[in-house]
A and B are shown apart, each in its own frame.
Chain A
Amino acid sequence: MKNSLLLLCLFLITSAYSQTKLTGIVHYESGISQQNIDNYFSIERKTLKNKKRIAFMDNLLLNSKKIASTLQFTLNDAIYKVNKKLTIKDRGDITEKMNLIAAGGLNKYYQNRNKNSLEIQNCITLGECFIIVSKFKKWQLTQETKKIAGYLCYKATTVVKLNKKTINITAWYCPQIPVSFGPKDYNGLPGLVLEVQNNFRYFRATKLVLNPKEKVRIKKPTKGKRVSQEEYNKMSKTAWSKIK
């Protein structure tokens, strides 16, 4: 009996210790979702009349490349960034630029577990740096499972409204890795997000390194005026209305 109790204590202490030390690096790839491509070619394309727009959309959907990005995390916070630093002001393939922007662009996505918050540093869109602060998303958890890279993942869903459009999001998270982080702004689940799909794009983990040899250091972005998501949306709308 004594031995069993001793073993149990040892196990609890070890697991608690390993959790406080948990760090990791996740490599993701992202691209336009097959659902998006299928939907465009089977339905939407037939409704379009503007030939220039059809050529533009065809090109964007058929020539889009996969974009690599990385999430670094500790138990308490994480940062997500796109790997390629092709700046918006560089000359280059415009289709690739669109994909880079959609995957997160030059933004830094800082996620904090204790505050349940996401802070996006955006220095491009409005011509100066902002730190856009919002809370983690709220999800519907399901019992549906699948294995990703050997990890048992659970399905969670949520719905977001953007410009009167409904965006359905499905995420696959792994409770075995107890951090509430994920790619871009897909976080707030009781486990690391290894795959996400919405109406437009997907993010998929291609490599996961837990407790890497090199220490994971999360540098919280500080440069920029702190605003709420609502405040930022308002400023963005005002700027857009001035572009004529």
Chain B
Amino acid sequence: MKKIILSLAVVFVMSSFTTSNTDVEKMNIKEVISENVGPAGDCVRSSREKAEWAAAVNGGEPMDYYMAYYIDCFYSIQPE
């Protein structure tokens, strides 16, 4: 019985972990550009600025760097 409960608990923890990961995995540029209000909106603006600066240092287009900054910002505003 104990083993069954333990197995169920592991499955539950794993599935909740997978779900929270999947949310970020599914995030893409089309959703991100529509987020222009609230904390996520702040991330859009600050990431745009940083992506422009990164392109100025590294070469390439700001668009290449944008999602990395957005994801970084998005994680930082998520509750622990």
Residues of A within 8 A of B (CB): 32, 36, 40, 53, 56-57, 60-61, 88-89, 91, 94, 97-99, 101-102, 105, 124-128, 162-163, 167, 198-201, 236, 239-240, 242-244
Contacts and interface: CB of A to CB of B under 8 A. Distances in A.
A190 B61 CA distance: 29
B57 A243 contact: no
A61 B57 contact: yes
B60 to A, nearest CB: 6
A56 B36 CA distance: 23
Interface of B: 24-25, 27-30, 32-33, 36, 44-45, 48, 50, 53-54, 56-69, 71-72, 75
B68 A32 contact: no
A223 to B, nearest CB: 16
A243 B64 contact: no
A101 B68 contact: yes
Contacts of A56: 50, 53
B58 A201 contact: yes
B72 A199 contact: no
B57 A57 contact: yes
Nearest to A127: B28
9 contacts: A56-B53, A94-B68, A94-B72, A101-B68, A127-B29, A201-B58, A201-B59, A243-B44, A244-B44
Contacts of A128: 28
B36 A32 contact: no
A239 B63 contact: yes
Contacts of B33: 239, 242-243
B48 A243 contact: yes
B41 to A, nearest CB: 9
Given A89-B24, A125-B29, A127-B28, A60 B57 contact: yes
Contacts of B72: 91, 94, 97
Given A40-B57, A89-B24, A125-B29, A236 B63 contact: yes
Contacts of B65: 98, 101
Contact of B69 (A61, A94, A125, A126): A94
Contacts of A105: 64
Contacts of A89: 24-25, 27, 71
Given A94-B72, A127-B30, A36 B57 contact: yes
A125 B58 CA distance: 16
B69 to A, nearest CB: 7
Contacts of A57: 53, 56-57
A50 B42 CA distance: 18
Contacts of A163: 61
B57 A125 contact: no
A32 B71 CA distance: 23
